[in-house]
Amino acid sequence: MKAYRKITFFVIIFILIFSFAYADSYNLLDERYFLVRNSYEIINDGINDVHKLNIRVLAGSGGDSAYQKNYDFDIYPFPSSLFTDDWGNTYATINVETLKPGQKIKVVVEREILNGGISFDKSIYGLKADYSEFLRDPFNSKYVLHAEKIESNNPGIRAKALELASTGTVVEKAKKIYDFVNLHIKYDTDPRFANKGALSGFITGRGVCDEYATLFTALCRAAGIPSRVVEGYWLEDEVKENQWTDVSDKRHA
């Protein structure tokens, strides 16, 4: 049995750093509503009936950010249950009693979001962020711990993080880490290097958006800066170049 996922946007990885920037330190640009549609097809390509099939799909994230707000979502067929994990990702389960050979079922998830650009004022570089209170909550400890493909406990990554983040404010430290990752990794879609995670990108200096994002996150966590990886969608025709960000398809991390 095969499962196909159809999406109309390019998938990118980007970073959300928990910072204590004040609301007046950034401006929102060109806010617009978008309808994001994910379509999945599950096909029984075997010779026997498949019974009691439980299909679980990602329904989206409930976490709003400064530049994006979630308004509504619909799922077809109607799910039997919804589950939200510790990261705020919501999954829907659709139960199928029987799927006969050659039969397929289509699952569609539609989400309405308000999204816009964000421009930070340079004053955020001087902010003195203190994460001690944030990290007292056991729920938040995961943002500084190692995880799959985010090997922040690796001795080499820890040493590099301490070297890069030895001085400066939190934002300045994060910028040093960002600059290092951007220069250290060469974009390479070779399967030997692509989508292998932080440690692979650190050792080989090669990879794709996954390596840019996970290595940046691993170094931030090793430096004590709470951070996480967020997956999103890139609308190719909507990306606009500016003097701050290189938005070529090889720098979308």
What is the C-alpha separation between 242 and 42, in angstroms, rounded?
Answer: 41
Q: How far is CA 109 from CA 90, 129, 231, in A?
A: 12, 38, 16
pLDDT at 50: 93
pTM of the complete model beyond 0.85: no
Which of 17-31, 65-79, 159-173 shows the highest mean pLDDT? 159-173
* Strand 26-43 relative to strand 2-7, pairing: antiparallel
Kindly report the average pLDDT of the chain as a whole number. 81
pLDDT tens digit sequence for 79-88: 999 998 887 8
- Whether residue 103 is predicted with pLDDT greater than 60 in this model: the reply is yes
Residues with Cβ within 8 Å of residue 40, at least 6 apart in sequence? 3, 4, 5, 6, 55, 57, 106, 107, 108, 109
Lookup: tokens for 47: 């010779």
Query: Residue 15 pLDDT more than 70?
Result: no
Q: Which domains, and CATH codes, for the chain?
A: 29-119 (2.60.40.1530), 127-238 (3.10.620.30)
Q: 28 Cβ partners below 8 Å, 6+ apart? A: 66, 67, 116, 117, 118, 119
Query: Which phi-psi region, left, alpha or beta, contains residue 13 (left: φ > 0; alpha: ψ -120 to 50)?
Result: beta
Q: Which helix (H) or strand (E) holds 100?
A: none
**pLDDT value at position 185?**
95
Among 43-52, 133-142, 149-158, 207-216, which stretch is predicted with the lowest mean pLDDT?
133-142
- Rounded CA Rg of the chain: 20
Average of pLDDT values for 32-57?
91
